Amino acid sequence: MVGWAFGNRTSRMLATDYPERVASVTLIAAGGIVPALTKPGELGSLLGDKSLTFNEKKGLARRTLFSPSTDEKIVEDYVKTLSYWPAARAAQQNANRNTPLEEWVDGGKGPLLMVMGEDDLTAPIENGHLMKAEHGERLRLVIVPNAGHAIGLEKPTETAATIVEFLKGHPL
């Protein structure tokens, strides 16, 4: 299983509920333990406020998803194609409110990989350090410099190579 952002919680819950079906879990930009360092509601506004101008969305995307060092064109391209399914967002919010952290945080019992952006303010890297302290050798933590919450867009080659290397060590 691979989960990015909120998908990391879904992946961890699946691995917890069905450990016999999940060989390993890869978490990209995984939060949940340590609160976001962004202002409350910023990411929600970016994803759900259709009245925002392009520049307002770009500013929110830069603050909530991207490293300060990320090329402006990557941020602009993201904002140009940004769309979010309101029903999915509502389901995520409902799941988040109604599923205690203790039920999903461990991500089952199998091998874990966490790929975290060093500049991620939405899922601060402290989440990874706490998970590593808790799970030791079970968890491989990789922190990618000059990457934020949108690490897969900012550093796609590094992110993919890290995942492939991890999966080679944990074949099915």
Above 80 in pLDDT, residue 31? yes
Q: What is the pLDDT of residue 75?
A: 97
Q: What is the pLDDT of residue 115?
A: 98
Quick one: pLDDT band at residue 44, thresholds 50, 70, 90? confident
**Two tokens, residue 20:** 């016999």
Structural domain of 82? 2-169
Cβ neighbour number for residue 83 with a 10 Å cutoff: 5
Helix spans in the chain (H): 7-17, 42-48, 54-64, 72-81, 86-98, 101-104, 126-135, 151-154, 156-169
Look up the CATH number of the domain holding residue 83.
Answer: 3.40.50.1820
Q: What is the pLDDT of residue 85?
A: 81
Task: Give the count of domains, the chain.
Answer: 1
Give the lowest-confidence range in 51-60, 113-122, 163-172.
163-172
Q: What is the pLDDT of residue 125?
A: 96
Q: In whole angstroms, give the CA distance from residue 75 to residue 89.
A: 21
Q: What are phi and psi of 71, to 5 degrees?
A: -55, 135
**Mean pLDDT, residues 106-123:** 96
Q: Which residues pair with 26 in a beta bridge?
A: 2, 113
Model pLDDT for residues 50-94, shown as the tens digit of each residue: 899 999 999 999 999 999 999 999 999 999 998 878 888 888 889
Looking at the chain, the whole-number percentage of residues with pLDDT higher than 90 is 76
Strand order in the sheet with 25-28: 2-4, 25-28, 112-117, 139-144
Model pLDDT for residues 120-152, shown as the tens digit of each residue: 999 999 999 999 999 999 999 999 999 999 999
Give 29's Cβ-side CA count (13 Å radius).
26
Residue that has been written with the tokens 């302290």 in this structure: 133
